Every structure is written in structure tokens, then in C-alpha cells.
Amino acid sequence: MVDYILGAESDQFTENLSRLCGVEAKWVKIRLFPDSEVCPRIQNPEGLKGASVVLVFRAESGRIAPSRYLMLYYLTAMNLKEHGVSEVIAVIPYLPYCRQDKRFLPGEPVSLRYVAQLLEASGVDCIVTVSSHVMGTETPLQDYFSVPAIDLDGFKPLAEYLKSMGRSYSNAVVIAPDEKSLRWAEEVRMEINAARAMYIKKTRDLVTGEISITAPGEDLSGLEVIIVDDIASTGGTLVRAASYARSRGASRISLCFIHPVLIGEALPKLVAASDEVIATDTIRSEVSRATVTKLVASTLSRI
């Protein structure tokens, strides 16, 4: 049973998770030194000895600093264990470095495996994340960890938010930006009772990272299109998919994704390319409308 939820000061995500779990929230005051070194200080650490603690931090859209973000978990988990905490459950809503889950080119690191080792070395006893970049691949997240690693499906909260808007989607098409994501598009389609799901073929250049798409000649005239993806980083994939849908006659385009990384001018591009932009709150952003806190709280109740 969880005793405390520990997170960054005044983070609404932590407060909501604490309320849903029915346990007290404790806070971490995060100090940045001039050279960007981070110093996370546990506020009022009294009573932590022997406790089971959920540790949760969120990154901020447009200001993602993956290495610093992971260091927050590493330093705080180590500190918790030195304060006598019996169990640390790391809720990492957006788990970075998952894109590099293997060596795509000679000499590259297997970053995800090394991140798993880093977290385990900090004393973390369990990992809970949302729609990691390896979800749905041949090698699940658990294979990279020796401690329990739970990879939650973030598309369900997205679909629940769409349903809560009170619109009918009987005339809508759910589009995935690549074949891997088709299963998630199909899941959203079933949840909101949309007409059908389809995917656009996406190819990424392993050297430059440039993405190109090959789209089917579908007639989308007069149809609402909902484009779903796990991550929006530069926004290029979603913008290309929206452009395709618009060129095929779509009457309304919604861009829905789980992790709003949104680097640089990504958000303005997405807004300009669509009628609606919706993300979850795994990362703080102005388009984080759907929440994964209920999903996370439900999972924590079963650990």
C-alpha cells in the first residue's frame, strides 16, 4: 500500500494523483544552479522511514531536458532510500530515451537499456510509465528492466476525453501516422464509435532523421479526421498527416497525441494545420486536456 505521493512543489498532477489515491502528498523543492545542475530537496522528510513512496515528476512542454529530468528521479530516489524509505515506485509519465531502444547504426548506444540500469541503480523498485515509445513493439518495456516496469496505454484517456466532448464520431476517420500506430488508431476508433481507421506509411531516414510519408488515395471529402500519435516532438509527422487529410477533402481535423514534447515552433504549426489539438497531461502543456491520473491511480492501487 502506498503511503505518500512525492512530487515537485505545486504540481497539479501530483495533487490529483494524491487525491485519487487517498494518500498524503509530500513535496520536492527543485533548485537549479547557474550551470543547470539540479538539486531536488525533499520537504519535511519526517515519517518517511519504512514508507512506500510514489515519486512523480513531469517535464514541461517545449523545455524538455531529458537528462536533467532523469537526474531528478535518480537523485531523489537515492535520497529517499537513504531516508529509510522501504519502497520507491517511480511514476515517469513520459519516459525519455525510448526512441533509442537498439543500435540503428554502428557505434550507437542502446539508450533505453542504460536508462533502465540508471533507474535501478538509484533504488527504484517499480516503474510506471505511459505509452513508452516501445509499446507495441516486439520488445516490450519490461524486457529492459529487472524490476517491474508497467507501460500504461495512454490512448484510452485520449479516447475518453473525445467522448466527453459530446460529439458524434459516426462520420469520422481515425488516422495513424504509421503502421505501428494503426492498433492505437483502431482502439480509439472503437472507443468513440468512429466509422473506420487507417494509417499513412511513414519512413524515417536513420542518418538525418527526416520523415517522409506515402499516403493512400482515400477520399475523405466531408469527413471528420482524427489523427492520433504517441509523441508530438517537432510536429512534422502530424503536420504532414494533416496536410494529407486536408488535401483529400477532410472537413475537420483533430490532432490527438499522448506526449506533448512540442519543441520550438511545433505547437503553432500543429494549430495552423488543424482545427483542434489535444494532448494528455504526461507533460505540462497548454493543450494537455486529457488526464492520465485516473489510469495511473488505478494501477497504483493494484501494486
- Residues tagged active-site: 202
Q: Which three cell numbers stand for residue 148?
A: 517491474
Distance of CA 28 to the CA centre of its chain: 22
Contact 203/212 with Cβ under 8 angstroms?
yes
Give buried/exposed letters for 112-147 (b at 16+ CB in 10 A, else e).
bbebbeebbebbbbbbbbbbbbbbbeeeebeebbeb
Q: Residue 10's CB: how many other CB atoms inside 10 A?
A: 8
Handedness of CA 109, 113, 119, 123 (dihedral sign): negative
Q: Which residue in the block uniquely carries the three cell numbers 466532448?
A: 165
Question: Which phi-psi region, left, alpha or beta, contains residue 50 (left: φ > 0; alpha: ψ -120 to 50)?
Answer: left
Q: Which candidate, 303, 284, 255, 288, places its Cα nearest to that of 126?
A: 303
Specify the length of the chain in residues. 303
Question: Are 301 and 279 a contacting pair, CB within 8 Å?
Answer: no
Q: Which residues pair with 231 in a beta bridge?
A: 259
133: DSSP letter: T
* Helical pair 293-300 and 12-21, crossing angle rounded to 10 deg: 40
